[in-house]
Structure 1
Amino acid sequence: MSHAFELLADYERRSLEHTPGTPEQIDASGLWRGVGYRIGQRRLASMFGEVLEIITLPHLTPVPGAQSWMLGVANIRGTLLPVVDLRMYLEAERTVLHETQRALVVRQPGGNVAVIIDELLGQRHFTDEQRCEPGDLAAGRYADYVKQAYDLGGVQYGVFNMAMLTRDVDFRQAALA
Structure 2
Amino acid sequence: MQSAYGYLCDLDARSLAHVAGIPQEAGGRSGWRGLAYRIGHRLLASSFDDVAEILTAPPATPVPGGQNWLLGLVNVRGNLMPLVDLKMFLEGERTVMHENQRMLTIRQEGGDVGVLIDELVGQRAFDEADQTDPGALTDGRYKHLIKRAFKKDDETWGVFDFDALTRTPEFRRAAL
Under a length normalisation based on structure 2, what TM-score does the superposition of the two structures give? 0.86
Structure-1 separation of matches of 2:20 and 2:171: 40
2:118 corresponding residue in structure 1: 118
Q: Give CA-to-partner distance per residue, 1:29-67, whole Å, 9 cap, x none.
A: 732111000000000000000000100011110000000
Quick one: structure 1 residues 92 and 17, their matched pair in 2 at CA, closer, same or farther if it must change by over 3 Å?
A: closer
1:100 and 2:107 equivalent? no
Structure-1 separation of matches of 2:130 and 2:161: 18
Quick one: structure 1 residues 34 and 142, their matched pair in 2 at CA, closer, same or farther if it must change by over 3 Å?
A: same
Q: How many residues align?
A: 162
Identity %: 49
1:159 corresponding residue in structure 2: 159
Structure-2 separation of matches of 1:68 and 1:172: 14
1:6 corresponding residue in structure 2: none
1:8 corresponding residue in structure 2: none
Structure 2 segments unaligned to the other structure (5+ residues): 1-13
Structure-1 separation of matches of 2:74 and 2:85: 13
CA apart distance, 1:17: 10
Q: Give CA-to-partner distance per residue, 1:135-155, whole Å, 9 cap, x none.
A: 001111100100100001111
Quick one: structure 1 residues 17 and 67, their matched pair in 2 at CA, closer, same or farther if it must change by over 3 Å?
A: closer
Under a length normalisation based on structure 1, what TM-score does the superposition of the two structures give? 0.86
Q: Give CA-to-partner distance per residue, 1:109-165, whole Å, 9 cap, x none.
A: 100000000010000111111100000011111001001000011111000000000
Instruction: Assess if the C-alpha contact under 8 Å between 1:57 and 1:100 holds in 2.
Output: no
1:21 corresponding residue in structure 2: 20
Structure 1 segments unaligned to the other structure (5+ residues): 1-14
Find the residue that maps to 2:65 and give its secondary structure.
coil
The answer to which structure has the higher helix fraction is 1
Instruction: Assess if the C-alpha contact under 8 Å between 1:50 and 1:163 holds in 2.
Output: yes
Structure-2 separation of matches of 1:39 and 1:17: 39
